């Protein structure tokens, strides 16, 4: 480059270019290269997750074809889903082949069964995709194929197809949906000008190739290719989800039955009314309900019923809340709340009544009412283990407990008489439910609505005590369609300006995740709460 018949000035320019190239190679730090390795691995893993999800949808099409109630619609939309699958597979194979060529150009070797190559090679991507003259079209070919892929995907949904000729409403809806897909499919091949150099690239294959692959390290170029594959698979996911939604919801087959009979009370006096409810319950083995009894989820038995056991204590009437969540035949969620009531009699003239719940909870004051035939002044109350009971006056007591157990006993001693024991359980306060601002529990949300929220609030559901949990921290992530993830660790419950700034970059279809949510309860322990997930609309 420094020889030949070039002028001394040109020779000097050529020499300076060589030196600059060497300096650029030296300045690509190991930390930056390792970051690209991590991001590329993350995108490839996300691509596999999306592929597995898409494959599950294709199996749903096969099942819908076999079901007489959905076969007709499934036939119309399965052939479109198959076209979408073929377009995605062909382009993904092409991109994977180009990644293989790039690795070979970067000294690809197999060491102990694993690929190794020069991740910091600055020339391989340039030579492979740009070349030294205008004859190399590899980069422009990628550019053209990505744009053609988007056009071909949109063409799969043609409102003028014969199947829709006699349904003007359907034709209009498909046309509207196609316009929405033009905006939502994550295929964007536009080129932005360089902020550092101010260089403006041509909005074509040549400009796109130069902007992305000129003097780009091999691992960065591979990451760009993986991102393109992610865009392809995400587009496929949107389209096949749409096709599946046109068939209708999956039919639930109720294939298990159970006789049900219950009374309104298990204890009564003469003249008290008795009510009995009886019938047959049916459920689908493929869509079993979730049953919550007494604040905790109870697993279902083989016949679809949940068995809950507790110990009767504290004289008087008691109530156990039951919540059954399930899916209706049309696929929409539903829940039913019931109350199971029972009455506990008074043994031998002494009674212990729980003023709130039938369990003593750690971290809160548990009010009790205790009575005996000998009078309040001659009665003393003690707890055998796990805490203590203090008297408040007039037959009222408060239990403060510290240790979970199922074997504690409240002992009521009467002066001049025998002591009576009442079994009691001591439990930790149930885990709260994470929400935004105490109301929103996840799902689809408008970006402006999400940004307007103040922060995370832990809510105790179906719990009678005024016990509060404080959110001590969480990890915020924005998962965008291109596979990019922006994790931020936040102390405390507030959605700070940094989090809201990231939300501001979100687009429809992006996923917002509040993960690793930690809350501190009144008992002083830290709880790990489930994630909150939102889809931007």
Final residue of a structural domain among 382, 408, 428: 428
**Cα distances (Å, whole numbers) of residue 506 to 24, 180, 322, 445, 534:** 33, 17, 39, 11, 11
423 shares its domain with 437: no
CB 429 within 8 A of CB 523: yes
DSSP string spanning 294-350?
A: TTEEE-B-TTS-B-------SSEEEEEEEEEEEE-TTS-EEEEEEEEEEEEPPSTTE
Predicted local confidence at residue 87, as pLDDT: 95
235 shares its domain with 96: yes
Q: Where are the alpha helices (DSSP H) in 380-436?
A: none
Establish if 4 belongs to a structural domain.
Answer: no
**Cα distances (Å, whole numbers) of residue 161 to 73, 108, 167, 175, 248:** 14, 48, 11, 12, 20
Establish if 5 belongs to a structural domain.
Answer: no
Whole-angstrom Cα distance, residue 380 to residue 370? 9
Domain count, the chain: 4
351 shares its domain with 474: no
334 shares its domain with 385: no
Widest CA span in the chain = 122
Place of tokens 């690793």: 516
**Digit-coded pLDDT (tens) for 335-385:** 888 887 766 555 456 788 888 888 999 999 999 998 876 777 888 899 998
Q: Which residues of the chain have pLDDT under 70?
A: 1-29, 134, 193-198, 248-288, 302-304, 311-317, 327-332, 342-349, 373, 416-417, 482-486
95 shares its domain with 231: yes
39 shares its domain with 150: yes
3-state secondary structure of 377: helix
Whole-angstrom Cα distance, residue 521 to residue 490? 19
**Digit-coded pLDDT (tens) for 123-181:** 888 888 888 776 778 888 999 999 999 999 999 999 899 888 878 888 889 999 999 99
Each as own residue / partner, the long-range contacts of residues 196-204 (CB below 8 Å, 24 or more positions apart, any chain) are 204/140, 204/143
Residue-range definition of the domain harbouring residue 318: 252-342
Whole-angstrom Cα distance, residue 401 to residue 411? 15
Establish if 11 belongs to a structural domain.
Answer: no
3-state secondary structure of 82: helix
Summary mean pLDDT of the chain? 81
365 shares its domain with 488: no
The phi and psi torsions of 375 (rounded to 5 degrees) equal 100, 155
The phi and psi torsions of 499 (rounded to 5 degrees) equal -65, -45
400 shares its domain with 318: no
472 shares its domain with 410: no
Predicted local confidence at residue 427, as pLDDT: 92
Nearest to 60 by CA among 286, 250, 234: 250
**Digit-coded pLDDT (tens) for 411-459:** 988 776 678 888 999 999 999 999 999 889 889 999 999 999 999 999 9
**Under 8 Å CB-to-CB from 57, ≥6 apart: which residues?**
81, 240, 241, 244
């Amino acid at each position: 480059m420094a020889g030949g018949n070039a002028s001394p000035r040109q020779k000097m320019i050529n020499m300076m270019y060589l030196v600059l190239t060497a300096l650029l190679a030296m300045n690509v730090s190991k930390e930056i290269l390792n970051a690209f390795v991590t991001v590329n691995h993350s995108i490839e893993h996300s691509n596999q997750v999306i592929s597995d999800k898409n494959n599950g949808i294709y199996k749903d099409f096969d099942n819908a074809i076999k079901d007489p109630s959905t076969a007709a619609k499934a036939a119309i939309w399965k052939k479109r889903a198959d076209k979408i699958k073929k377009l995605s597979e062909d382009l993904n194979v092409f991109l994977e082949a180009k990644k293989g060529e790039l690795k070979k150009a970067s000294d690809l070797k197999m060491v102990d069964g694993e690929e190794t190559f020069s991740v910091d090679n600055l020339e391989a991507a340039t030579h492979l995709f740009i070349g030294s003259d205008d004859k190399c079209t590899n980069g422009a070919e990628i550019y053209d194929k990505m744009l053609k892929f988007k056009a071909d995907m949109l063409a799969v949904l043609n409102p003028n197809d014969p199947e829709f000729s006699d349904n003007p409403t359907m034709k209009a809806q498909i046309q509207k949906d196609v316009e929405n897909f033009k905006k939502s499919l994550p295929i964007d091949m536009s080129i932005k000008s360089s902020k550092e150099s101010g260089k403006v690239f041509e909005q074509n294959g040549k400009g796109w190739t130069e902007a992305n692959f000129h003097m780009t390290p091999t691992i960065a170029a591979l990451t760009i290719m993986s991102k393109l594959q992610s865009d392809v698979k995400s587009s496929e996911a949107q389209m096949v989800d749409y096709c599946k939604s046109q068939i209708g919801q999956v039919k639930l087959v109720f294939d298990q039955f159970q006789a049900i009979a219950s009374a309104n009370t298990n204890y009564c006096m003469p003249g008290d009314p008795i009510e009995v409810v009886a019938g047959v319950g049916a459920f689908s083995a493929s869509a079993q309900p979730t049953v919550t009894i007494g604040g905790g989820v109870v697993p279902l038995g083989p016949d679809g019923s949940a068995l809950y056991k507790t110990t009767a204590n504290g004289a008087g009437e008691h109530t156990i809340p039951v919540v059954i969540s399930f899916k209706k035949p049309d696929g929409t969620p539903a829940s039913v709340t019931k109350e199971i009531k029972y009455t506990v009699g008074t043994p031998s003239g002494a009674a212990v009544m729980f003023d709130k719940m039938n369990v003593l909870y750690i971290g809160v004051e548990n009010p009790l009412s205790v009575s005996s035939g000998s009078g309040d002044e001659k009665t003393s109350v003690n707890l055998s283990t796990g805490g203590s009971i203090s008297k408040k006056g007039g037959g009222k007591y408060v239990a403060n407990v510290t240790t979970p157990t199922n074997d504690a006993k409240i002992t009521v001693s009467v002066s001049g008489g025998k002591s009576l024991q009442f079994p009691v359980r001591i439990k930790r306060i149930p885990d709260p439910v994470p929400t935004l601002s105490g109301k929103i529990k996840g799902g689809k949300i408008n970006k402006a609505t999400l940004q307007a929220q103040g922060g995370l609030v832990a809510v105790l559901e179906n719990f009678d005590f005024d016990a509060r949990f404080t959110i001590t921290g969480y990890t915020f992530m924005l998962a965008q369609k291109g596979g990019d993830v922006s994790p931020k660790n936040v102390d405390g419950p507030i959605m700070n300006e940094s989090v809201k700034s990231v939300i501001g970059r979100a687009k429809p279809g992006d996923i917002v995740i509040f993960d690793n949510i930690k809350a501190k309860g009144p008992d002083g322990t830290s709880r790990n709460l489930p994630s909150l997930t939102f889809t931007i609309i």
